[in-house]
Amino acid sequence: MSTPLITISRVSELREQLAELRSQGKTLALVPTMGNLHQGHLRLVEEARRHADIVIASIFVNPLQFGPGEDFERYPRTLEQDQQLLQSVGCDLLFTPDVGEVYPEGQEQITRVVVPVVSEGLCGQKRPGHFDGVATVVTKLFNFVQPDIACFGQKDYQQLAVINKLVKDLSFPIRIIGVPTCRTSEGLALSSRNAYLTPEQLKKAPSLYATLQATGLKLAAGNSHFIELCHFARARLAEQGFAPDYVEIRSLDLSPPGIKADSWVILVAARLGKARLIDNLVVHRDKH
């Protein structure tokens, strides 16, 4: 029988618990989430379990990364269900602070962590301040937990790039593991915001990834007309009923794409009804 999941909401209690585990020589892995967990989150926990003795998940809907008019208030909160799912995959500890615990002095005057360059453009342009909020809360979580390892999904490619740069630049002694995107059998990337889709929209949603794949085939085959490829993808998405925020081709480090490069990443964000969906595809040039 698995050990019961321990749920903690206070930073002081969390630190006390983790200090005891560290004194026993245990290695710690952190899986930060905003809750409303799905199979993609559980895969992060399973990956974390492979690399550390103790797995800590956090659930915190971070107001600092939501802009005006975004879905902070209606973001799905399903704590009891999330606890059961985490228990089922062997998570050891769940940290569930409230806003006052994370930002005891309020949010207006708080020191913010800004990660330049990789946080600019793409979602950083469409959601101003979003990645400052992400970087700030992740820095706080890293300081609360002081993990050896932290796992993040590759679905949010830009976020993963921001966190990798954050850890490198601020010299956090933490190994970041990017975990491949978890998809439905039709190819739709799992996301808590998929709950906003109607049954009809759920049928259309997999065409987002299908469009990435179709664009990727052209890119891999040697078509380096990046702007034309992005126009092709945007038009295809619009035909399917999406409202694209952006489709861009970048180098793997998110710098502008090189014509002679061997690998690229195609990144997309598009709205379908009330949901804003993001996805990406890493493409390698055909060698034959």
Which positions are annotated as active-site residues?
Answer: 41
257 and 247 in contact (C-beta within 8 Å)? Answer: no
CA distance 151 to 43: 10
Q: Which helix (H) or strand (E) holds 82?
A: helix 79-88
| Four-CA torsion 150, 154, 156, 160, nearest 10 degrees | 40
Least Cα distance to 250 among 268, 223, 233, 232 occurs for: 268
User: What are 185's two structure tokens?
Assistant: 């059998």
Q: What angle do CA 48, 141, 104 make, to 5 degrees?
A: 155
Q: Give 177: exposed, middle or buried? Use CB within 10 Å, 0-12, 13-18, 19+.
A: middle
Q: How far apart are CA 176 and CA 152, in angstroms?
A: 7
Burial 252-283 (b: 16+ CB within 10 A, else e): eebeebeeeeeebbbbbbbebbebbbbbbbeb
- CA nearest to 159, candidates 269, 69, 48, 274: 269
CA distance 130 to 123: 8
Task: Report phi then psi at 284, rounded to 5.
Answer: -115, 140
Nearest residue to 226 via CA among 209, 247, 252 = 247
**Residue written as tokens 């702007």?**
227
